[in-house]
Chains A and B, each alone.
Chain A
Amino acid sequence: MKSIREITKQRPWVPWVLFFVTTVVVFLIGLFASSIIERRSESKLYFQVVKEIAEWEPDNAVWGENYPREYDTYIATTDTTFASKHGGGATIDYLQKYPELVVLWAGYAFSSDYKQGRGHYHAIEDITNTLRTNYPQPATCWTCKSTDVPRLMDKMGIANFYRGKWQDLGKEVLNPIGCQDCHDPKTMDLRITRPALIEAYERSGRDINTATHQEMRSLVCAQCHVEYYFKGEGKYLTFPWDKGQTADSVEKYYNEVNHIDFIHALSKTPVLKAQHPDFEMFQTGIHGQRGVACADCHMPYRREGGIKFTDHKIQSPLNNISGSCQVCHRESEATLLKNVYDIQDNTEQIRRIAEKNHYIVHLGCKLAYDNGASDNEMNPIHQLIRSSQWHWDWVAAANSMGFHSPVESLRVLALSIQKAQEARLLLLEVLLTHNVKLPFTIPEIATKAEAMKLINLEIDRITGEKAAFLKDVSSTWKKK
């Protein structure tokens, strides 16, 4: 065998061939490498972001340019035509439907106006229109209404945001609940944007960043659809979960921090008003226990031609039984609807008993005071009513009329009724000591107007003030 040097000497073209072959091979490897890189970067374009979305972009329409299907279905939350037996996107005037509520909340803004909320798209309009915002409210009320909130919180600081007056931020809060509340603008991953949930997790020693994707599909909803209160003078939005998430453990927490939502105008009870503990309640139900997420039923997958995506028309699953329930349940729509209504009708029946009990007991307390009862005598009754009304409200304020967790709903209502009955027994003793003739008369109320008259609510004045406010103040808040 000859050495290369010898070969080269004899055939000088050999090294040239080697040189060119190597050049071609390296060139091809280079081409291959850049092809891989090119196709890798294509995967980044997979989301087809037509337009970059800025970190605090509040305008849902801007997001919609990139995600037209999600945006179109989100816009469909404007729909107010669907009404199920107990819910849906149509407005229900609860005070008209259950006039006793007016009396249960006497002395509190809820006695003037309480309606079934419409779809997310109407959030800002609805909070502006409700008579409840006639009363002085903190800016905290905006927290769950708008995609402008995270931006404002970042600008003002969280505590500062809460501290302000509701009216003062009206000009800044323009875009209703939407994309940015739940999504990261860069990756579209689900993301928590409201500090209260993050803080509640931190206090219980958990890190929300370790949540799985399936958990996130409920947790983004739990930023708002939970029981909460405004803590202290700073009106700092706080979730009362430190002792647990059931009606009883939240009550224990409130008693410990001595939280009172309002003093009842008739009975002088220091009342706790429940918000909407949908997330807490849902977790105790069988769907929650089996790992179903809020989005599974309220935002099921949807098909449009050859494309499958998440329906962003967040609504009552009863408006889309085939997309929601029948993905898992094989029964007919009629059967499933009947099952839901049976649960809801039963819950409503028990709930009404609790409501009527409270109606009577509040009026009875007023009678006792009118006949000279002292706060000392009434205190044990107040404590019972506080607890019983809290339990009733835990179910009544939650959406779904018991469906999210039927057994838990009825358990909590049972406790409410039992405590209200105890209060009525104690009340009878007080009434007897003050020589009140029994049974005392309980006025019949059939309408909201009658109930408001009973508690001397000046509804005409409040309505007039609201009309003036809408005309002079909030009309200047509109988006230009």
Chain B
Amino acid sequence: MKKILKIFFPPENWKTIVVILLGIFFGLGVFVLYISNAASYLSDEPKTCINCHVMYPQYASWEHSSHFRATNCNDCHVPHNNFVNKYYFKAKDGLRHSTMFTLRLEPQVIQIKEAGINVVQDNCKRCHSDMVSMVSLTEVTGKNYREGKGHRCWDCHREVPHGTVNSLSAYPSALVPRLSPVIPSWLSKARDKENTKSIQLKK
């Protein structure tokens, strides 16, 4: 056992340099986690979804819809049948998104994929089950849809909640929350004025 561990330890006279190099290595890693807001991806906060600006139209349209009051992104876009599935789906979806974004492969009009459709359809019913109990009889169920027999809620409710205009440039001046700056506030305080909703004039 000791011998196996030993292989990972550098010789005595290398130790200092290896520790420093490892420090640099981990420091870089932590920096990447920090600038990418990595911790925020564990939360349900809708702001997380606009860490990338390509989601601004989706954020803006949701924010101006009636669903704004009652839901966040994850309520509809990740499964809620169990904890493991929720985070598995989130990780899967998120890694795909981050890869596309990093490699600049995002399309001009973002469209939902099959896996996402199924999740959203189930989530419509999660809240609106009472309301749709009659509708389900006419085959609007996630199960029927998956089997190619039925419809999705938004085949009819087309504007819910993101509207029908979804290109990256659809909301050019939408007032969405912006990323907080990388430089911490105590460092930039001297330079920037705090954002207020009223101006201060000389008396």
Q: Which residues of A contact B (CB under 8 A)?
A: 1, 3-5, 22, 25-26, 29-30, 32-33, 35-37, 39-40, 42-44, 46-48, 67, 69-70, 150, 153-154, 157-159, 184, 187-193, 195, 198, 208-209, 211, 213, 216, 301, 303, 306-310
B169, A157: Cβ atoms closer than 8 Å: no
Most central of B175, B182, B199, B203 by chain A CB within 10 Å: B199
Distance, CA A208 to CA B198, complexed state (A)? 7
Sort A-B residue pairs by CB-CB distance and give the 10 closest, nearest first: A43-B53, A1-B3, A192-B198, A5-B11, A209-B197, A153-B201, A198-B198, A306-B167, A29-B28, A33-B32
Q: Which residues of chain A are near B179, meaning CB under 8 Å?
A: 40, 43
Could you give, for residues 170-203 of chain B, a 1 whenever the CB lies within 8 Å of some chain A CB and a 0 otherwise? 1111010011001000000000000111110111
- Total contacts A to B, CB within 8 angstroms? 120
Given contacts A30-B28, A33-B28, 4 further A-B contacts (CB under 8 A): A29-B32, A157-B203, A188-B175, A307-B171
Distance, CA A384 to CA B167, complexed state (A)? 62
Q: Which residues of chain B are near A47, meaning CB under 8 Å?
A: 172-173
Q: Which residues of chain B are near A30, meaning CB under 8 Å?
A: 28
Smallest CB-CB separation from A46: which chain B residue? B53
Q: Which residues of chain B are near A29, meaning CB under 8 Å?
A: 28-29, 32
B170, A37: Cβ atoms closer than 8 Å: no
With both chains docked as a complex, state the minimum distance between the C-beta of A38 and any C-beta of chain B, in angstroms.
Answer: 10
Partner among A37, A190, A211 whose Cβ is within 8 Å of the Cβ of B182: A37
Distance, CA A69 to CA B14, complexed state (A)? 64
Q: Which residues of chain A are near B14, meaning CB under 8 Å?
A: 4
With both chains docked as a complex, state the minimum distance between the C-beta of A21 and any C-beta of chain B, in angstroms.
Answer: 12
B197, A208: Cβ atoms closer than 8 Å: yes
Quick one: given A189-B175, A216-B197, are A36 and B203 in contact (CB under 8 Å)? Answer: no
> B94 at interface (Cβ–Cβ under 8 A)?
no
B101, A4: Cβ atoms closer than 8 Å: no
With both chains docked as a complex, state the minimum distance between the C-beta of B168 and any C-beta of chain A, in angstroms.
Answer: 10
- Give the size category of B's interface with A: 35 or more
Partner among A4, A26, A46, A189 whose Cβ is within 8 Å of the Cβ of B7: A4
Q: Which residues of chain B are near A192, meaning CB under 8 Å?
A: 197-199
Could you give, for residues 146-179 of chain B, a 1 whenever the CB lies within 8 Å of some chain A CB and a 0 otherwise? 0000000000000000010101011111010011
> B56 at interface (Cβ–Cβ under 8 A)?
yes
> B20 at interface (Cβ–Cβ under 8 A)?
no
Distance, CA A301 to CA B163, complexed state (A)? 12
Smallest CB-CB separation from B32: which chain A residue? A33
Quick one: given A48-B172, A216-B197, A309-B173, are A303 and B165 in contact (CB under 8 Å)? Answer: yes
With both chains docked as a complex, state the minimum distance between the C-beta of A67 and any C-beta of chain B, in angstroms.
Answer: 6
Quick one: given A43-B179, A46-B53, A189-B195, are A4 and B10 in contact (CB under 8 Å)? Answer: yes
In B122-162, which residues have CB < 8 Å from any A CB? Answer: none
Quick one: given A29-B32, A309-B173, are A39 and B202 in contact (CB under 8 Å)? Answer: no
Partner among A32, A153, A188 whose Cβ is within 8 Å of the Cβ of B32: A32
> B4 at interface (Cβ–Cβ under 8 A)?
yes
> B36 at interface (Cβ–Cβ under 8 A)?
yes
Could you give, for residues 33-58 of chain B, a 1 whenever the CB lies within 8 Å of some chain A CB and a 0 otherwise? 00110000000000000001100100
Partner among A3, A5, A25, A37 whose Cβ is within 8 Å of the Cβ of B35: A37
Q: Which residues of chain B are near A158, meaning CB under 8 Å?
A: 201-203
> B102 at interface (Cβ–Cβ under 8 A)?
yes
Q: Which residues of chain B are near A154, meaning CB under 8 Å?
A: 201-202
Q: Which residues of chain A are near B53, meaning CB under 8 Å?
A: 39, 42-43, 46
